[in-house]
Amino acid sequence: MYRETDIIQSADQSPEGYMIINVGPQHPATHGVLHLVITLNGETIKKVEPHLGYIHRSIEKMCESLSYRQFIYVTSRMDYLSAHINNHACALCVEKGLQVEIPERAKVIRVLMDELTRIASHELWWGAMAMDLGAFTPFFHAFRERETINDIMEETCGARLTMNYMVPGGVMHDIHPNFQRRVKEFIQLYKSKIHEYDELVTGNIIFQNRMKGVGILSAEDAISYGCTGPVARGSGVSSDIRKVQPYEIYDKLQFDEVLETGCDSFARYLIRIKEMNQSIRIVEQLIDNIPEGDFQAKTKAVLKLPKGEFYTRVETARGELGVYIVSEGGTTPYRIKFRSPGFSNLSVLDKIARGGKIGDLIAMMGTLDLVIPDIDR
């Protein structure tokens, strides 16, 4: 949070007469309650200062008094567009502590759900980002496909946003009998519609002019600022945890890590579009090969982790999510830290926006794909 006096002082002291503008906390383009204090010289951005905390729920502290079965449900509320993947990360971390081997069927279901989540998240990002730039139609196109995924999720998990489907030991219950048929229908729908994305937005010359050469982020800066996910891969940094440190069955699957070397907003845009195709590839490989068997390993009703420290890294739609559990041997974690991808990706905003124009700021923010509850936790 800022002190008003600080800002007035700095404006007075600047000989050029810089102007300070507040974007947010209530602003449609911040996609939540993000507050940016922007220092401007004319139209040129001199400084962007994020002020956080408007949706801070202190999830880390809450988890300290929740059991290892309970705390996973809170994490769906962090990055609500990657709810499955958040749950997955926590379940993996607890399983690492318990040293439980989960059945093959559960692994495949988990990966299928993760990849469908990734597609749904990128769909929403694509629609919302086009809307930030003033194009409203893509939003409806994106939601047409996203709703299909949400319907599939609803049938199996009973929820459309905060799924809470992955539990320590596997998944909560088996997939719905319709699941495979509906996912295949979705793949057909996706393949018949994806070309519209390129026709509507990617190839649009106005869109390209607003994205190319804007928000340059070098590979060194991306690493130094801790950027992950499509933000880092847009600068050519190989950072996909599914490849770098494979978990579940990702090492057995055929898919490519998408890399672009444009380093600009357009490169980050292309990464997400191409990633959706890779996710479809994974879903296609698995949907007919879900092994028979249990969907959950047998675990005790009350879980106790041995004394020690456990860390898992997974790839969400936004980048690397880390779950760090410090256990003292009890039924609740002593300390939990969530290394959220959005937090580090936001910290780079000042770097890429400096020297740019205020009109481009929204486009830059759009390609960072910020989810505010993920940043605030």
Partner 1 sequence: MTNEELKAKLTEWHPEASFEEGGEWVNLVSTTGNLLSLMQQLRQEPSLSFDYLFCLTCVDFKTQLTMVYHLTSTTLRHKLVVKVKLDPKQPEVETVSAIWRTAEFLEREVYEMFGVNFLHHPDLRLLILPDGWEGKNPMRKDYEDPVNMIKL
Q: Where along the sequence are the contacts to partner 1 (CB under 8 A)? A: 1-3, 51-53, 56, 58, 60-62, 64-66, 221, 223-226, 237-239, 244-245, 308-311, 313, 320, 322, 324, 326, 334-335, 337, 339, 343-344, 346-347, 351, 376
Which C-beta is closer to partner 1: that of 59 or that of 119? 59
| HSE toward the beta carbon, residue 24, CA cutoff 13 A | 24
The first and second tokens of residue 46, run together, are 């001199």
The first and second tokens of residue 307, run together, are 């004394």
Query: Cα separation of 20 and 40, whole Å?
Result: 6
* Phi, psi dihedral angles at 296 (to 5 degrees): -150, 140
Which C-beta is closer to partner 1: that of 49 or that of 147? 49
Query: Cα separation of 260 and 247, whole Å?
Result: 24
Q: Least distance in Å: CB of 234 to partner 1? A: 15
Q: Least distance in Å: CB of 231 to partner 1? A: 12
Scanning 64-103, the segments in alpha helix (DSSP H) are 71-75, 83-98
Which C-beta is closer to partner 1: that of 213 or that of 322? 322
Which C-beta is closer to partner 1: that of 224 or that of 261? 224
Would you list the DSSP string of 324-360? Answer: EEEE-SSSS-SEEEEE-HHHHHHHTHHHHHTTSBHHH
Would you list the DSSP string of 2-71? Answer: --HHHHHHHHHH-TT--EEEEE-SSBGGGTBS-EEEEEEETTEEEEEEEE--TT---HHHHHTTS-TTTH
Q: Least distance in Å: CB of 132 to partner 1? A: 24
Q: Least distance in Å: CB of 339 to partner 1? A: 4
Q: Least distance in Å: CB of 140 to partner 1? A: 35
- What count of other Cβ atoms lies within 10 Å of the Cβ of residue 254? 9
Which C-beta is closer to partner 1: that of 113 or that of 305? 305
Q: Least distance in Å: CB of 283 to partner 1? A: 28
Which C-beta is closer to partner 1: that of 116 or that of 375? 375
